[in-house]
Amino acid sequence: MSIDLASFTPGLSLTGGLLIGAAAAALVLFNGRIAGISGILGGLVGTPQKDAQWRVAFLAGLIGAPVLAGLLGSRIAPDIQAGWGEILVAGFLVGIGTRYAGGCTSGHGVCGISRGSIRSVVATATFMASGFLTVFISRHLLGG
């Protein structure tokens, strides 16, 4: 196994993790809400809610921050070697998984584990194991 040193950015990764943690902490402290992206987005679908404003603002920041960084010249987006069909199928499968798990990686992995939720520990372990298995299969068994 080798590390791609050109893509190895522990400082940026640590900074990103700290910012995600700070955003999740601020949302729970000031709004009493868990920063689970699937729940935030799901709360906008269907009947209008009184709390739609913070949900839209959160999602706008989630999308707008990397767009702004890109406009300022930062190369932060990964090079994805997949077509639109593969991306759409993958997104659909992730959506199904978040429904079955009762939340997404951000809700379970960042917020749930920090609250000591056993359900979140199990869900996050399942997410991670599925990711490890997918990479192993695609790289070693399918020759990708």
pLDDT higher than threshold 90 for residue 129: yes
**pLDDT at residue 78 in the model:** 66
Please state the pTM of the whole predicted model: 0.69
Torsion of CA 81, 16, 110, 48, to 10 degrees: -80
**pLDDT at residue 125 in the model:** 93
Binning pLDDT at 50, 70 and 90, where does residue 43 land? confident
pLDDT higher than threshold 80 for residue 46: no
70 contacts 90 by C-beta, under 8 angstroms? no
pLDDT, tens digit, 9 for 90 and up, residues 69-122: 778 877 666 667 788 898 899 888 888 888 888 888 878 888 888 888 999 999
**pLDDT at residue 77 in the model:** 64
pLDDT higher than threshold 70 for residue 44: yes
Binning pLDDT at 50, 70 and 90, where does residue 28 land? confident
Mean pLDDT of 35-41: 83
Domain ranges of the chain: 10-141
Q: How many CA atoms lie within 13 A of 30 on its CB side?
A: 7
**Cα–Cα distance measured from residue 30 to residue 33, given in angstroms and rounded to the nearest whole number:** 8
Mean pLDDT of 24-30: 89
- In sequence order, the 6+-apart residues with CB closer than 8 A to the CB of 54 are 31, 33
